[in-house]
Amino acid sequence: MRIWARFIAAAALSWFCLQPAAAAERLVVLEVALGDVSLNKVPFLMAADTGIYARNGLDVRQFITPGAAADARESGVTVPAQFVRSDIGSAPISVGGASPMIYRVANDAQSLHRVAILTTEGTVRNTIITSNAIARVEDLKGKRLGYSVPGAVTHVAALHFAKHMGWDPARDISLIGNGNSLNPLKEGRIDGALGSAMTFSMAPEMNLKLLIDLTPFNFPVGGSSVLAERNWLRMNRDTAARFVRATNEALALMRRDRAAFNAALTKWFNVRDPVVQQRMYAEIDEIPRKPFPTVEGIRATLAFYDSPEMRKYKAEDFYDSSFMTELDRRGFLDQLYR
């Protein structure tokens, strides 16, 4: 009996030791395109570094596109090469703006139709950065204001801003594409730029002026979202649900673990300046604790870019709130912040 008991104990120990390896084999592999380099991406970096993805049964392979890395360099941010991949844009999940995705669906025959299942940026949070030659907001009339590309969050922000000022964006101000970074502003190619948290956190060190924060105006936008390719989503709802849950866990962690936040900025974006890190961290409170897909932001996008092709779509074609609704119904979101 003693020999048999030892055998049972040894077998049990062997089985227990094998569980981590077996669990690792069961992780669902998921490729994710992180899009631009910004504060909105930090929770996803932290989810990878702190094991949140793995605890939700996911083996996430996430990368930044070469174009996004190149844009970041224009503002002094160098993304390490191992986190950049050229073919990641067709990944089943993309983390980026819903507005530019919608614009592409209506204007680019090769675009992927994605669906927002979570949004961390439902209103414009850009700051207009200028040289010190611009004294007042009104001084931008007739000047050059830089944004990214048509349909981008910065372009929607520029259109909202012009409308708020009572300006015709085609006559009263020049909206300049590929101009949402700091180098064109420093070099005098534009007079102002719409900057994200990462960009305007670096601007003061370059002797540039933070002219106006657009956050208080609550301009609706289809900003940074978890975007799932719609055909993939139909067939992989469990994987999508795991990713949404992991994202919410990472958002909560970002609020309470400053060290992990700074570590992610250093590792993935090579942002090491403590002052810049602090300025970025101060913007976290603008991210909603219950990041439902932005219906109003999607509607605003459809209205701004009205066209015969755009009118074929309705807001419901571009979002699915069921994943967030289920987490909220179960009390999971409230529990994260207790």
Average pLDDT for residues 159-182, to the nearest whole number? 96
pTM over 0.75: yes
Q: Where are the domains of the chain?
A: 27-121+222-336, 127-217
Classify 127-217 by CATH class. Answer: alpha beta
| CATH (one of 3.40.190.10, 3.40.1160.10, 3.10.129.10, 3.40.50.261) for 27-121+222-336 | 3.40.190.10
The tokens for 56 are 């939700």
- Is residue 87 a contact partner of residue 204, using CB atoms and an 8 Å limit? no
CA distances from 137 to 134, 145, 146, 162 (A): 8, 12, 15, 11
Q: Which of the two residues, 17 and 123, has the higher pLDDT score?
A: 123
Mean pLDDT value across the chain: 89
The tokens for 245 are 């849950």
E-assigned strand segments in the chain: 28-33, 58-63, 93-97, 114-119, 127-130, 144-146, 174-176, 192-195, 209-213, 224-229
- Is residue 293 a contact partner of residue 119, using CB atoms and an 8 Å limit? yes
Identical fold, 27-121+222-336 and 127-217: yes
For the CA atoms of 263, 264, 267, 273, the dihedral, rounded to the nearest 10 degrees, stands at -60
Poorest-pLDDT segment among 20-24, 94-98, 274-278: 20-24
Residue 335's pLDDT is what? 97
At residue 21, does pLDDT exceed 60? no
Average pLDDT for residues 310-338, to the nearest whole number? 98
pLDDT (tens digit per residue) in 80-117: 787 788 776 789 999 999 999 999 999 999 999 999 99
- Residues 6+ away with beta carbon under 8 Å from 302: 102, 310, 313, 314, 315
Question: Using the 8-state DSSP alphabet, how is residue 223 labeled?
Answer: -
